[in-house]
Structure 1
Amino acid sequence: MSAPATETTPSGLVIARIGGVPVVIGASWLLLAAVITFVVGSGSPELGSTAYLLGGVYAVALLVSVLVHEGAHAAAARGVGLPVHRVVADLWGGHTAYDGRLSTPGKAALIAIVGPISNFALGAVAWVASNAVTADIPQRMLFGVAFVNVLLAAFNLLPGLPLDGGQLVDALVWKVTGSRETGLIAAGWTGRVVTVGVLLWFVVRPLVLGHQPSLTSLIWMALVGMFMWQGATAAIRTGQARRMLGRGTVAQVVRPVPVVRAGDVLETTAATGGLAVVVDDRGAPQSLVFPQDAANVPRDRWVSTPVSALARVQPAGWVATTRRDDDLTEVVTAIQESQSPVVVAVDEAGRVLGIATVEAVNAVLEGR
């Protein structure tokens, strides 16, 4: 799966960096590996302990298949000029996080489709290889790899988010309506429909036909259903939130203020009554000076009082990386993450655009 996202610190074991992009194995993948090893091992008693070794090989083969799938997403995103933040393999398979702010319906569709295509290709290679060998264990392994890759590709093409097929629905609706938000909402609803369909087919249908699914199958389908439903619901909510945040732009809520260093004197902030952003030697925002604090300093001492004496260090997450013509998503995210009524906006080069307040954001969203 692929998903537009903002850059965050990878969570898990970074096994490689390809082109600067971290490839991460989430801790939850170990649980998936253990389940696969147990299911395969316990399902082939005629192989003895070798069955569990075969299960471990299947788990690793699935990991490679997922990384090939996600690597294809990452390569496509990089190929169309979108920054890729990370490639992750975890309990739910995997995902590729990239910056989708400059994406288009065509780019989104391309990034989505290459994942399943890569698995179909890998599955075809493994199937041909399985027919070329005669030894039992290698043949089983290769056939298993082929089967898993075809299954992974087909499942991901189901037309609903959070699957790649849902990304295609998103891109199609986005293209037809001209609204990314409408695409997300539509693909989220199809994702819910797909989730219900999957559960009906793999759980309800066998019961109606008089077959009793195993406890393992029921647990696994419950987990898959929960994952798909949550992903679809998140897409709907994201689309609705973006629709609301699209009512305004960063330029409408950002107020330019002086950008000073810790050693500068308070007089440099006189134009805004003592309001300023304090940056470090690299130009990264570190703290704020507020007018109410500056007012406590006698006016004749502003020429000698360093701003560091009044600067207030701000909470983590208070910096929003965005552009003046972007919607308010990044600004609102910074407000929510920092729980601060004031955040600073910077562009992709790290230059300070100004500060944004909760009051300014609310005024724009409410049409005041």
Structure 2
Amino acid sequence: MAAPSETHSSGLVIARVRGIPVQIGPSWLLLAAFITFIVGSGAPELGALAYVVGVAYAVSLLVSVLVHEGAHAATAQAVGLPVHRVVADLWGGHTAYDPRLSTPGKAALIAVVGPVANLVLGALAWVASLAVTAEVPGRVLYGVAFVNVLLAVFNLLPGLPLDGGQLVDALVWRLTGRREAGLIAAGWTGRIVTVGVIVWFVVLPLLSGDQPSLTSVVWMGLIAVFMWQGATAAIRTGQARQMLARGSVAQVVQPVPVLRPHEVLEAAAATAGYAVVLDGSGRPHALVLPEDAASVPRERWASTPVSALARVQPDRWVAETRREDDLTAVVTAIQETQSPVVVAVEDGRVLGLVTVEAVNRAIGGN
């Protein structure tokens, strides 16, 4: 699944493709062990070889997931969105990318290419299984084909956190012009899909007199919990964005002098010393605060470089946004940096500073 909001993750980096780290999360080992056990214990006619086949299935599933997520990552990069990582874990996998420059069309394209990649890989595996005469390789290839078709179909179910939910999100976003409406709608369809999965795989077999295995019930339960949590997170994110839409960047931004390190404190006299300091590449890098400026005698402001007082700010304190945008980008920067102040930038030009207090006033006053 595409996971546009995630920025931090842990896992073993097994490769870097075009600068994107490809990770295996620790929980993937649990999935691999489960698949190996199920396949190995389900084919006693193969003896110990059955567990080798189980390992082959686990590895082939990993490859299938990485192909799926690689398609998401490559497409996100192709449409100009920075990609943070590709991760394979207990739930399959996800691709974390920066959604701030996304559009409904880009989001839909990124979502759909994952299942399409699985369908292509499944078709290739099926053709290869027909050409192989040996039983074990043929069985593995057929399994790869089946799993990839299953992954494609399941991921196209119309609810977040699945790719089909991303398509619902993009469609509602396009029709309404409001991203938060798309998230809420796709979150609710995700909840409906979750209930449908439980009914289809657990409730209906019980009503028809069949007895699902304990393994199937536990596995479906875990999948349902994962899907319900993802759907609920989407609804809450949409509701939070609704709240942030009450204000605009223009309402909360405070213009301040933007200075080079060698420029003097006197250039920030109009703001009592408040100033944004750029680095060598022209990127906002540090901040001069009025309390620091006050520690310098006023007669020395004309000779004191701002570099002597500037406080280097945390990574990601720059909110790429526009004056007419809502508060999503600046609040995201505040949350990620845990800083009471961030800098708003539009097309490389510093608009000014945004404080937590200003955001709270804007939200509370509407």
Q: TM-score, with normalisation over the residues of structure 2? A: 0.90
How far apart, in 1, do the equivalents of 2:155 and 2:347 lie?
A: 33
Is 309-318 or 238-247 further displaced after alignment? Answer: 309-318
Q: Select between 301-310 and 357-366 the one with higher mean Cα deviation.
A: 301-310
Which secondary structure does the structure 2 equivalent of 1:274 belong to? coil
Conserved in 2, the CA contact under 8 Å of 1:255 and 1:354?
A: yes
Q: Secondary structure at the match of 2:10?
A: coil
Match of 2:364 among 353, 363, 366: 366
In 2, the alpha carbon distance for the partners of 1:125 and 1:310 equals: 62
Measure, in 2, the Cα distance between the counterparts of 1:312 and 1:139. Answer: 63
| Distance in 2 separating the partners of 1:219 and 1:31 | 14
Offset of residue 2 of structure 1: 1.8
Q: For residues 59 and 15 of structure 1, what CA distance do their matches in structure 2 show?
A: 16
CA shift, 1:232, in A, is 0.4
The answer to whether residue 131 in structure 2 is matched with residue 143 in structure 1 is no
Q: How many Å separate the matches in 2 of 1:262 and 1:79?
A: 36
- Please give the secondary structure, in 1, of the residue aligned with 2:84: strand
Alpha-carbon displacement from aligned partner over 1:149-188 (angstroms, at most 9, x marks no partner): 1111111111111111111212222233232221111110
Cα pair 1:10 1:22 within 8 Å, conserved: no
Aligned to 1:134: 133
Partner of 2:246: 247
Contact kept, 8 Å, 2:100 with 2:329, in 1: the verdict is no
Are 1:254 and 1:356, in contact at CA under 8 Å, matched by a contact in 2? yes
Matched position secondary structure for 1:150:
helix
Question: 1:63 corresponds to which residue?
Answer: 62
Q: Distance in 2 between matches of 1:294 and 1:81?
A: 40
Aligned counterparts of 2:104 and 2:303: Cα–Cα separation in 1: 56
| Larger CA deviation: 172-181 vs 187-196 | 172-181
Q: Distance in 2 between matches of 1:306 and 1:81?
A: 38
In 2 relative to 1, CA 26–323 (structure 1 residues): closer, same or farther, beyond 3 Å? Answer: farther
Q: Which residue of 2 aligns with 1:82?
A: 81
- Paired with 2:122 and 2:43, the residues of 1 have a C-alpha distance of 23
Distance 1:22 1:347, change over 3 A: farther
Structure 2 counterpart of 1:269, one-letter code: A
Residue deviations 1:312-340, cap 9 Å, x none? 45556544343444321121122223333
Once residues 43 and 281 of structure 2 are traced to their aligned partners in structure 1, the CA distance between those partners, rounded to angstroms, is: 60
Letter in 1 for 2:339: S
The one-letter amino acid of 2:154's match is F
Following TM superposition, by how much is the alpha carbon of 1:357 offset from its aligned partner in structure 2, in angstroms? 0.9
Q: 1:343 to 1:215 in 2, by over 3 A?
A: same
Alignment partner, residue 181 of structure 2: 182
Q: Which moved more, 1:49-58 or 1:259-268?
A: 259-268
Query: Once the 2 structures are TM-superposed, how far is the Cα of residue 64 of structure 1 from its aligned partner?
Result: 1.1
3-state SS in 2 of match to 1:186? helix
Q: Partners in 2 of 1:306 and 1:331 — Cα distance?
A: 29
Deviations 1:38-90 (A, max 9, x none): 22112222222211111111111111111111222233333444343332222
Distance 1:364 1:133 in 2: 66
Following superposition of structure 1 onto structure 2, how do residues 135-284 of structure 1 map, counting pairs within 5 Å?
135-260=134-259, 264-284=263-283
Structure 1 CA distance, aligned partners of 2:110 and 2:261? 45
Distance in structure 2 (CA, Å) of the matches to 1:122 and 1:227: 26
Counterpart residue identity of residue 360, structure 1:
A
The alpha carbon displacement at 1:146 in A equals 0.9
Within a 5 Å distance, the mapping from 1:104-115 to structure 2 comes to: 104-115=103-114
**Which is further off, 49-58 or 17-26?**
17-26
Counterpart residue identity of residue 33, structure 1:
A
- Check conservation: 1:159, 1:165, Cα contact below 8 A: yes
Q: What amino acid maps onto 1:3 in structure 2? A: A
- Cα distance change on mapping 1:262 and 1:78 into 2, 3 Å: closer
Change (3 A) 1:14 1:330: same
Residue of 331, 354, 365 corresponding to 2:352: 354
Q: How many Å separate the matches in 1 of 2:20 and 2:322? A: 23
Structure 2 distance, partners of 1:19, 1:317, is 22
CA-based RMSD of the aligned residues comes to 2.5
Q: Which residue of 2 aligns with 1:288?
A: 287
For residues 204 and 191 of structure 1, the distance between their equivalents in structure 2, rounded to whole angstroms, comes to 18
Amino acid in structure 1 at the alignment position of 2:171: L
Residue matched to 1:4: 4
- CA–CA distance in structure 1, aligned partners of residues 79 and 314 of structure 2: 35
Q: CA deviation at 1:225?
A: 0.8
- The whole-number CA distance in structure 2 between the counterparts of 1:339 and 1:118 is 38
Q: Secondary structure at the match of 1:94?
A: strand
Partner residue in 1 for 2:18: 19
- Give % identity: 75
Aligned position for 1:122: 121
1:301 — aligned with what?
A: 300
Deviation at 1:301, TM superposition (A): 2.5
Q: Structure 1, unaligned stretches of length 5 or more?
A: none
Supply the distance in 2 between the matched residues of 1:68 and 1:299 (Cα, whole angstroms): 62
